[in-house]
Structure 1
Amino acid sequence: MKLSVLLFLLLSSLHPSSSQRYNALFSFGDSMADTGNVRIAKLPYGMTFFGNATGRCSDGRLVIDFIAQALGFPLLPPSQEEHDFKRGANFAVVAATTLGFEFFNERNLSRGLWVNASLHTQVERFERLLPSICGAPQGCKEFLSKSLFIVGEFGGNDYSTALFFATPIAEVNTFVPHVIDALSDGVERLIGLGAADIIVPGVLPVGCFPLYLTNFHTPDPEDYGPKTGCTRSYNALSWLHNALLRKALDRLRRKHPAVSIRYADYYSQIIDFAINPLKYGFTAGALRTCCGKGDNIYNYDQGRRCSENNFTVCDDVSTHVNWDGIHMTEAAHRAIARGWLHGPYVDPPILSSDQS
């Protein structure tokens, strides 16, 4: 076992009281949060912290790992393996969508789905595990009312499934209300089961990621933000999703005033990485891939991706925001988790006394 892992376990055991306010931690989402439900990766994935690939789409820990650590929980076990889930579980699945198969099949896009793991499917799996976690329904309601739920990121794969098959972005924009409705329904199902403290992240500014910057490159400088270098149209799609999501969460708060429903702002934080990388120690900037191989400023090539076909890994991963073209480094996840735990990117922050 690597020294870094042993140190993490030691520190967790020295601070067990930090999780006393929560019974458990439950996570839903896609590759931004999957801790091993889909094991598609191999080294150098996992190289920084674990020393081996765990299914995480990064060189090390994810945002959910840092949150679990800060709250005194063990790293969340993947729900599709045999574990004791009484302190929490991770239902996130790489490539998961918010919407179900039928939505994409009706639009001739189902061939772009890698997994059948929509939000509805993840919540169903959670329901099936509840008796082993907390017993009878009434006991579960009490248990879940004192647990923390992180629902997302959801939406990115719904849009990329269409974009990667050349669906015009104007048409993909029409998907957003459907995605938001499905996400709202999923949150409401969890509330019905007893969840009373829920964090719902928005989507990332995908126009800042090397995969999009490379595959959808245009020669027109007006297509790019002058401060960030990110593509305007794809970030506009993310912005629309987040704006409608925040309105939906406002409606849920009015409907369920006793439930804490908080928005987590990936978008603004990653834009800040792009504008002010040195503030976070990212000397390589935010738009350059660490693991990959590309003959362009983003170091990304769809045919030479991380862990495939003559890839290379940067000398110092901690100086990079982007890991493999679409996922982030452990260093970026640590900075994001800090913004959620202490503010300002979750309001009130997870560790705020207002939530104790």
Structure 2
Amino acid sequence: MRCRLLVLLVLVAHTRPPAAVAREYAAIFNFGDSLADAGNLCVDGIPDYLATARLPYGMTYFGYPTGRVSDGRLVVDFIAQELGLPLLPPSKAKNATFHRGANFAARGLGHAVWSSGSLHTQIEWFQDMKPKLCSSPQECRELFRRSLFIVGEFGGNDYGSTLFSFRPMLEVHDLVPHIVDSIGRGIEKLIAEGAVELVVPGVMPNGCFPMYLSMFPKPPEMYGARSGCIKELNTLSWAHNAALQRKIAELRAKHPGVRIIYADYYTPTIQFVLHAEKYGFLKQKPRACCGAPGVGEYNFNLTSKCGEPGAYSCDDPSNHWSWDGIHLTEASYGHIAKGWLYGPFADPPILDNKHLG
């Protein structure tokens, strides 16, 4: 089965009526990694190595794999629908129109598992697309001034690749300022292009995800008493997010005419673990909906990952927060998107009444 999202998503244009939208955006431009990729890696067909572009990926909303690493929609999809915009086409899609936005997020520039398209590479793709979006620099700046830019998350793959190289934790922590500075430079590049509204997500609590729990077993005292998550991995995520929020504060002071929103992936994911029933999830240890049974308690097996032989999906992804052990279910992304749009998972919320005035 090929990734059929390319023209279909543009033509079908799943939207919600804009009448209820408090803030109108001309377009959304999205950058990121596999948490936000809408299929850039499979616009020319499914690579043989890409299990994430096979069923059961895409089963819940689309009914077929779209290149999204979930059972359905992602946060950016929910945001687009809530704002009355079509689902963003992948930036590499053929015969697509990008006047209402584009999704530049990509999982890789090559075959390496952790080779995520960097923010700066994706910004180059964005700059290359400008002739398709507007006919003059002034027209471009006006379009971008009325658009929403979602910048990330970035950093998760950098930390993951280093952890899976079994580098010391102190060495992994040393990456934090470099990664955050790189994100800051990317934000300023977009501001220079005319962006005045940017959403900058932090990273997730990796210590709660079945893949990390399966691959980095620890002594009992190194797990959270209530969450069952690996404390030192969550501390790394927390350190990144704290540094990123400091960087955002610096950029706000430097660019007072620009609204930069910190978007929180960490807090809602922790809440999914600690308060599962509140969100309609099963109260259980972190467990992948789609995985391979019989290998550990987290339903994650590196040799039989979701989409590969031996793996299967749970009957109802809507009652699980973890989809494949490292990415979230559509249900989880829906809760996060609502929290980014209206609070409390964004500072300030995208549709902030004070801002809308």
Once residues 32 and 19 of structure 1 are traced to their aligned partners in structure 2, the CA distance between those partners, rounded to angstroms, is 26
Aligned length: 338
Q: Partners of 1:227 and 1:210 in 2: how far apart? A: 16
Aligned partners of 2:13 and 2:85: how far apart in 1? 12
Which residue in 2 is equivalent to 1:143? 143
2:307 aligned with 1:307, yes or no? yes
Secondary structure, aligned partner of 1:94: coil
One-letter identity of the residue aligned with 1:308: E
**Is 1:329 paired with 2:332?**
no
Asked if the contact 1:211/1:325 (under 8 Å) is kept, the reply is: yes
Kindly report which structure 2 residues correspond to 1:157-172, keeping only aligned pairs within 5 A, or say none: 157-172=157-172
Q: Which residue pairs with 1:101 in the alignment?
A: none
Aligned-partner Cα distance in 2 for 1:234–1:13: 38
> Is the partner of 1:167 in helix, strand or coil?
coil
- CA gap of 1:14–1:198, structure 2 versus 1, over 3 A, is closer
Q: CA deviation at 1:13?
A: 6.1
Deviations 1:153-196 (A, max 9, x none): 10000111111111122111111111001000000000000000
Question: Where does residue 106 of structure 2 map in the other structure?
Answer: 93
Within 2, Cα distance between the matches of 1:111 and 1:56?
Answer: 17
Q: Which amino acid aligns with 2:255?
A: H
Counterpart secondary structure, 1:148: strand
Alpha-carbon distance change, 231 to 351 in structure 1, aligned in 2, over 3 angstroms: same
Quote the residue 2:201 is aligned against: 201
CA distance in 2, matches of 1:25, 1:286: 36
With normalisation by structure 1, the TM-score equals 0.90
Look up the match of 1:182.
182
Q: Which of 82, 93, 96 is residue 81 of structure 1 equivalent to?
A: 93
2:106 and 2:116 in contact (8 A); partners too: no
Runs (5+) with no aligned partner, structure 2: 43-49
Quick one: which amino acid aligns to residue 38 of structure 1?
A: L
User: Does residue 18 of structure 2 align to residue 18 of structure 1?
Assistant: no
Conservation of the 8 A alpha-carbon contact between 2:114 and 2:158: no
SS at match of 1:38: helix
Q: Percent identity?
A: 50
1:122 shift after superposition: 0.2
Contact 1:223 1:232 in 2 (8 A): yes
1:84-108 Cα offsets, whole Å, 9 max, x none, are 1110000000157xxxxxxxxxxxx
Q: d(CA) in 2 for partners of 1:13 and 1:71? A: 7
Deviation at 1:347, TM superposition (A): 2.5
Q: TM-score, normalised by structure 2?
A: 0.90
Structure 1 residue 350 displacement after superposition: 1.6
State the AA in 2 paired with 1:221.
Answer: P
Match of 1:59 among 71, 87, 104: 71
Aligned partners of 2:30, 2:156: CA distance in 1, in Å?
A: 17
Q: CA RMSD in A?
A: 2.2
Partners in 2 of 1:48 and 1:209 — Cα distance? 21
Match of 1:30 among 28, 33, 39: 33
- How far residue 303 of structure 1 moved from its aligned partner, in angstroms, is 1.1
User: Are the aligned partners of 1:348 and 1:354 in contact in 2 as well (CA < 8 Å)?
Assistant: no
Q: 1:285 to 1:18 in 2, by over 3 A?
A: same
Counterpart of 1:34, as a letter, is: D
Can you give the 5+ residue segments of structure 1 that lack an aligned partner in the other structure? 97-109
C-alpha distance in structure 1 between counterparts of 2:345 and 2:99, whole Å: 28
Which whole-Å deviations, capped at 9, do the CAs of 1:220-271 have from their partners, x for residues lacking one? 1111011111000111110110010000000000000000001001111111
CA distance in 2, matches of 1:263, 1:289: 27
Q: State how far apart, in whole Å, the 2-side matches of 1:286 and 1:71 are.
A: 35
